[in-house]
């Protein structure tokens, strides 16, 4: 899923490439991708984009006449920059945003069809898309602490809850927790002040570093390789590979279609966290520590 750093760079490049231009047309390949009917698509066609902005993981096109186009890429949605008027891919194409100098295709790589477009009028209607989470780059330590302690959850769940934190998904949450050396299943109501201070610093550091990396990668073009799995990541998507800090193998917790990656040595005092499916399968043979793996 495109997360905060990806969305930030998407929006920066949109602003640089077509900021101030008119959105000439929105072409829809499938009716379900548009989740609103009033205002209609025709209301924004021909209007100038006055600003691009982010709400959580959503991309917002601010238009003339107090109109807004809100695109939520969800897990598998992506934007592709192409020549003006480019055709939509038959299987993956959802919509096209046509500007005079470029077309941006909204595609979806998966089969669950979760990506969406909303067209709304007025800032009150736009505010309905804000889940209310703390903005990571703007939050003071006190605001970050309040976000963590607002509800009693595991740390991974809280960091990825849009009502608590804006724009953080599973990939960067794994990286933040590893940088802060805190367990993904730590209860947020039991975190120490020191752990929260480390998490606050790690959140700013990790997200800032990745924004800079993705900016450099996009250069003067447009991001084409948006993915949650990158070689430079410390633990996310690195199950079984050595932790870059201690060299111990990265572990994982798998639940439903999600996965959490962590380093047992750096984050859980050497304890391997129970994977519900795997622990049921292995029973007493399930390894409880790094020593059991050796």
Residue range 126-147, pLDDT digits in tens: 999 999 999 999 999 999 999 9
Residue bearing tokens 């905060």: 4
Residue 168 has pLDDT above 50, yes or no: yes
Q: 262: which 2 tokens?
A: 């962590």
Span of 86-90, 129-133, 177-181, 225-229 with lowest mean pLDDT: 225-229
User: What's 141-293's CATH class?
Assistant: mainly alpha
Alpha-helical (H) ranges within 41-162 are 123-127, 141-149, 155-159
Q: 112: which 2 tokens?
A: 């669950």
pLDDT at res. 110: 74
End-to-end CA distance of the chain: 34
CB 210 within 8 A of CB 137: no
Residue bearing tokens 């043979």: 285
The ranges assigned to domains in the chain are 4-127, 141-293
- Structure pTM? 0.91
Residue 122 has pLDDT above 60, yes or no: yes
Span of 15-19, 81-85, 276-280 with lowest mean pLDDT: 276-280
At the topology level of CATH, where does 4-127 sit?
Answer: N-terminal domain of MutM-like DNA repair proteins (3.20.190)
């Amino acid at each position: 899923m495109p997360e905060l750093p990806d969305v930030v760079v998407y929006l920066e490049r949109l602003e640089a490439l077509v900021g101030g231009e008119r959105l000439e047309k929105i072409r829809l390949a499938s009716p379900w991708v548009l989740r609103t009917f009033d205002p209609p698509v025709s209301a924004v066609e021909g209007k100038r984009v006055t600003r691009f902005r982010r709400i959580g993981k959503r991309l917002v096109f601010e238009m003339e006449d107090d109109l807004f186009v809100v695109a939520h890429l969800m897990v598998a949605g992506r934007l592709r920059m192409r020549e003006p008027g480019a055709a939509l891919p038959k299987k993956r194409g959802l919509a096209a945003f046509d500007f005079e100098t470029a077309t941006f295709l909204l595609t979806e790589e998966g089969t669950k069809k979760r990506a969406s477009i909303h067209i709304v009028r007025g800032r009150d209607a736009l505010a309905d898309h804000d889940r209310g989470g703390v903005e990571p780059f703007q939050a003071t330590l006190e605001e970050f602490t309040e976000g963590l302690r607002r509800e009693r959850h595991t740390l991974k769940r809280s960091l990825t809850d849009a009502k608590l934190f804006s724009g953080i998904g599973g990939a960067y949450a794994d990286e933040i927790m590893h940088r802060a050396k805190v367990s993904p299943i730590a209860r947020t109501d039991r975190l120490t002040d020191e752990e929260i201070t480390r998490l606050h610093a790690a959140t700013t550091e990790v997200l800032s570093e990745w924004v800079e990396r993705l900016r450099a990668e996009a250069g003067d073009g447009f991001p084409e390789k948006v993915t949650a799995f990158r070689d430079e990541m410390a633990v996310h998507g690195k199950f079984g590979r050595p932790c870059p800090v201690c060299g111990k193998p990265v572990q994982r917790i798998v639940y439903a279609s999600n996965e959490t990656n962590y380093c047992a040595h750096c984050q859980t005092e050497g304890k391997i966290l129970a994977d519900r499916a795997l622990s049921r399968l292995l029973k007493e043979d399930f390894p409880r520590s790094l020593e059991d793996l050796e």
